[in-house]
Structure 1
Amino acid sequence: MTDREAFDEIASSIDDSSAFYGAIQEARAKLHREHPGGVDVTLIGHEAWRQLTPVQQAQALDGLFVAYIVRLHDEERAAKLNDAAAEVKTYLEGDDEHVLHDALSAVRPIGENTEVNGVCASALANVLDELDLLRHRLAMTRRDDG
């Protein structure tokens, strides 16, 4: 991921009604006009920060911390998944899907408030359906590749 993509991702998690978000948009537009060949994204952040009053900076700080921590968590999770994918690892035990399908079959039809052991049954059904869809997409990709 480029610095710009990382900055855009972090900035996208900042409340778009905040003064800091508005300052980011203004700084981005200004700096891109001044440097059409490209801008170091940290300059955008610094320029936006300088536009804020001390009170606005204090209000924006929590959002920055949250955005940064979420970004770190996402990077760590992606690294972990990349490692698992490289090992051709699965987190599923042999009968995990069977156990979940059995649990769901006992509560069908699944209503809006249906739960299985305190877990929303429709969420479990969605995860199982998504797993099937991912397997199907993987099989299609493998077929296309060779």
Structure 2
Amino acid sequence: MKLHRQLLTAAVVAALFVPAAHAEVAIDVIGGSEITFEGLVQADGNWFDNDLTDLNGGDAGNGKNSEFELRRAELVLKGKGPGNVEWVVGYDAKADKFLDTNLKYKLAGNANHFVQFGQFKQPNSLEELSSTKNNDFISKAAVTNTYAVARRLGGAYSIGDN
């Protein structure tokens, strides 16, 4: 719990001192690959009156009238190049699981044809495919959580701009 509180404090301080929100932060070009970093930290905080009933699992008079916890702490490295190759490695430190971890290749001679291998979001619904940072609410709809297939390991062939 102490680690989560320190991480939450660091995230809030970092958010307050960032001049503008950036989707990607360029790191460097290594081996012909332009490497960028993305991060998303979301936390929950509760304040309540704990004088009559114990609401946080301890003594009602312990003076703890609030709780804080990380919802997600996503760290993503992306690379473009060399050539027609793009790659992604994402990890959620809070859930201790890998997110999108894949390799995408733009087929030569075909302007918008792609082959992708690895773990990635399945084309199911707009809410499932969009990033959590772009959602209107902090949680996804119950229908999306019930029926969405989320990320799976496999391969895909796609035609489009991305």
Q: TM class, shorter-chain normalised?
A: under 0.3
Higher helix share: 1
TM-score normalised over the length of structure 2: 0.23
- Which structure would you say has the larger Rg? 1
Q: With the length of structure 1 as denominator, give the TM-score of the two structures.
A: 0.25
